Amino acid sequence: MRVIISVTAATNYPKKVLSGDINPDFSLWLGLKDIGLGLALAQSAGAPIPLGAASQKMFALPGPWGRAHQDCTAMLHLFSDLSRRTSQKMILTRHFRGVYDMLDTTKEPKVNALLAKLNQALADQRIDQILTLFLKDCYWRDLVALTWNIKTMEGNAAVGEMLSAQLANAKPGNFMLHADRDVSDEDGVITAWITFETSVARCEGQMRMKDGKIWTLLTSIVELKGHEEPLGINRPSGAKHGSDGNGLTWKEQQKKERAEQGYTEQPYVVIIGGGQGGIALGARLRQLGVPAIIVERNERAGDSWRKRYKSLCLHDPVWYDHLPYLPFPSNWPVFTPKDKIGDWLEMYTKVMELNYWTRSSVTKAYFDEATQEWVVDVDRDGEKVSLRPKQLVFATGMSGKANVPNFPGQDVFTGDQQHSSAHPGPDGYEGKKVVVIGSNNSAHDICAALCENNVDVTMVQRSSTHIVRSESLIEHGLKPLYSEEALANGITTELADLTFASVPYAILPDFQKPVYDTIRAQDADFYSDLATAGFELDYGTDETGLFMKYLRRGSGYYIDIGASQLVIDGKIKLSNGRVSAITEDGIQLDDGTNLEADLIVYATGYGSMNGWVADIVDKKTADKVGKVWGLGSDTPKDPGPWEGELRNMWKPTQQEALWFHGGNLHQSRHYSHHLAMQLKARMEGIPTPVFGLQDVHHTG
């Protein structure tokens, strides 16, 4: 007989603990009404977990559960005594918003045995033995830890190639289970969080095992030895007691630094673009002691959001959008209005003490081969300044280089024409006719705002669009990792980011398709109504939904926050077809349809970020680094060959000392860490031999 302790938030007897029903012949129900907790002692089959400190720790739960800790510990002592008297082992499981399986203790020994073999083979530098621990069809995704790159090795042979190149220098070892994270087993896949070290860094990662071997492995750099961030117990004092020969207050020191940086002192890094990407990277570099200047053309930090159409809100929920070090407060709205995020970014630059140059534009830049540094000419609010950083980062954003189409007749149109990035909103167009060319996020938001302000608006859909309702996306796509429920279950933002990063892009479609199949079934009536309205829908080339479209092409989707119902109701008019010409009073489609307009909005997206390199450096350098973004999936707007990672993002490029940083707020937060680690290592003279520098197949 084995005994199970089941903890539940319900007031009723738990109906099931493992796969077998509880035997009521041996049960004890203890109700702790004052804390809303119930314990059931029951006989059942299952692998034993000896009660101890690890099991007792399970009761240190958030919210009202935390108050039960002492009482639960006492109960555990009671049951432990019962276990000794009955010569039975105790098994602990927790029921909280579903069963959380903690019963199978055979998982950890399997993982530890494999890690022991891995450590020995690494110490012996026996690549042949290391490869026997991996499945033939395996994936090793490395975030700077071994490759000094963001690189996925696909297959046993590719892993061997990487190890042959990097093992001797990196010297990885001391792989062990992460002390604070659980091992899980689901559908025959054991998932374990790990820590390890290289010769220069401390690292972490995740390992998935199938059939006793490694299926997927994520390795991610955490910190450089000897160059740790001053966080937690290592935070700066702030106070200066006694005389240090300086005598400057914090404010005076800040003023001095800003006066010198870029003039008498040169930054190690210049970041072009002061949106969320440049700001997040600047914060990371600041904490690492890397001198950096962020160059922003707008008057204030956050203006890149403030100047967008006035109805704009973030389409991603707050839990997905935190910045490094300083998360949004707990009362922050789920979907942040553009001006509110603009104010937060402005505040953030001040609190994080960033060297942030507003009203500044980079007019020209080139790499000086002789000095191995960049020459960056800046117009700083009318002052000409020449900077000479060692590293240059383009953080101009995926939504930075507007893609304005060239249609015949644009020069004869008598009304207003705007790209969506320059559209101020519906003010001044009440009672007029507006045609919005495009059918993705911006097009829907702009059409909805115009419609709600008594504007006669028509959306021109030129190709099919994937639509997912925001509520459904959060429920099925984001909630397990980014939500209040996830936080309550111990999934921090950092852990969520790593979990998402642990899935190699080659198999990510297999993880994504079930999510969107569920959404498609749940929202079948919604999609049927859209189709009836004439809206051309798709679910991605392989029906894998929004995120794969985002990674592959960065376009082709709308996260619905209400505009789709306006399309269904006919309040936003819809026309399908290609634009053949712009006329004096509107546009003409390829089927001969004429649409009158007082305003034409080109919601036609954005070009590759290397377009900014062509403008600021030269076209030769832009072509040298090639297209930015996309996986090489050989799907529309993402031509092959397969890359396995996003082109040129957050990693070395074919142009020495030239980097790209951007993406959504989640990516800007997560990958700014890995880019900052690469820049810090180079500044400190740490060897950074890059494995797998990507080839260039497309120039834009």
d(CA 203, CA 172): 9
Q: Is the bond preceding residue 641 a cis peptide, omega within 30 degrees?
A: yes
What are the structural domains, with CATH classification, of the chain? 3-100 (no CATH), 107-224 (3.10.450.50), 255-400+607-683 (3.50.50.60), 416-602 (3.50.50.60)
3-state secondary structure 140-183: EEEECCCCCCEEEEECHHHHHHHHHHHHHHHCCEEEEECCCCCC
3-state secondary structure 194-212: EEEECCCEEEEEEEEEECC
Q: Which residues pair with 367 in a beta bridge?
A: 374
Contact 214, 133 (CB under 8 A): yes
What is the predicted pLDDT for the residue at 203?
A: 98
Helical axes 276-288 vs 665-683, angle rounded to 10°: 40
- Give the SS3 label for residue 342: helix
> Taking the CB of residue 352, how many other CB atoms lie within 10 A of it?
19
What is the predicted pLDDT for the residue at 276?
A: 95
Q: 476-504 burial, b if ≥16 CB within 10 A, otherwise e? A: bbbeebbbeebeebebebebbbbbbbbbb
Q: In this structure, what token pair is assigned to residue 69?
A: 């800790």
The four Cα atoms 220, 225, 229, 233 give a dihedral, to 10 degrees, of 110
What is the predicted pLDDT for the residue at 680?
A: 98
d(CA 116, CA 623): 46
d(CA 66, CA 488): 11
d(CA 574, CA 444): 11
In whole angstroms, how far apart are CA 172 and each of 13, 124, 164, 221?
49, 11, 13, 11
What is the predicted pLDDT for the residue at 106?
A: 67
User: Residue 365's closest CA among 676, 661, 615?
Assistant: 615
Q: What is the mean pLDDT of each run of 10 residues along the chain (700 residues)?
A: 36 33 34 33 36 34 36 40 37 32 66 98 97 98 98 98 98 96 94 98 98 98 97 87 70 93 97 97 98 97 90 91 97 96 98 98 97 98 98 87 92 96 92 97 95 96 97 95 96 96 98 97 98 97 96 95 96 97 97 96 92 96 96 96 97 98 95 98 98 94
Q: What is the greatest pairwise CA distance in the chain?
A: 93
Element (H, E) at 295: strand 292-295
What is the predicted pLDDT for the residue at 308?
A: 85
Element (H, E) at 256: helix 250-260
Contact 354, 279 (CB under 8 A): yes
d(CA 68, CA 52): 17
At a CB cut-off of 8 Å and minimum separation 6, what does 385 contact? 262, 263, 377, 378, 379
Contact 598, 429 (CB under 8 A): yes
Contact 130, 110 (CB under 8 A): no
What is the predicted pLDDT for the residue at 105?
A: 55
Q: For the chain, state the CA radius of gyration.
A: 28
